[in-house]
């Protein structure tokens, strides 16, 4: 029986996200429009349901300042986030 070994470049559970990084203003401003980001911290909706503190499509460059304020208001700034190429890719990972 082959033992499972994790290395720096392998994952036990493969995922469809491009990368995981801290959600900073610099990162937000550098991502292409249309990418989808999901915060790794959650807010409790009810006893058994949690939702990401922030999830959304990267908006156009002139409106990203407002998007950053929304991220900060939800305490998702400087927290880990998953970056996807689109919402469809995220939905495929979560719902399939």
3-state SS assignment for residue 56? strand
Cβ neighbours for 78, distance < 8 A, ≥ 6 positions apart: 22, 23, 24
Please provide residue 56's backbone torsions phi and psi, each rounded to the nearest 5 degrees.
180, 165
Tens of pLDDT along 18-66? 888 999 999 999 999 999 999 999 988 898 899 999 999 999 999 999 9
pLDDT for residue 76: 93
Q: What confidence category does residue 77 fall into, taking pLDDT thresholds of 50, 70 and 90?
A: very high
Q: What confidence category does residue 14 fall into, taking pLDDT thresholds of 50, 70 and 90?
A: low
Higher pLDDT, 24 or 13: 24
Residue 2 has pLDDT above 70, yes or no: no
Please state, in angstroms and rounded to a whole number, the distance separating the CA atoms of residues 83 and 31.
Answer: 9
Cβ neighbours for 65, distance < 8 A, ≥ 6 positions apart: none
pLDDT for residue 95: 79
pTM: 0.78
Show me where the domains of the chain are located.
25-95
C-alpha triplet 29, 32, 36: angle, nearest 5°:
95
Please state, in angstroms and rounded to a whole number, the distance separating the CA atoms of residues 85 and 65.
Answer: 21
pLDDT for residue 9: 42
């Amino acid at each position: 029986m082959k033992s499972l070994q994790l290395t720096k470049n392998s994952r036990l559970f493969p995922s469809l996200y491009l990368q995981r990084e801290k959600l900073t203003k610099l990162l937000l401003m550098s991502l292409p429009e249309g990418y989808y980001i999901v915060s790794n911290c959650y807010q409790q909706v009810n006893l058994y349901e949690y939702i990401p503190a922030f999830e959304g499509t990267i908006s156009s460059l002139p409106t990203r300042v407002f998007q950053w304020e929304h991220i900060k208001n939800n305490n998702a700034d400087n927290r880990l986030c998953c970056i996807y190429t689109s919402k469809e890719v995220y939905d495929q990972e979560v719902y399939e």
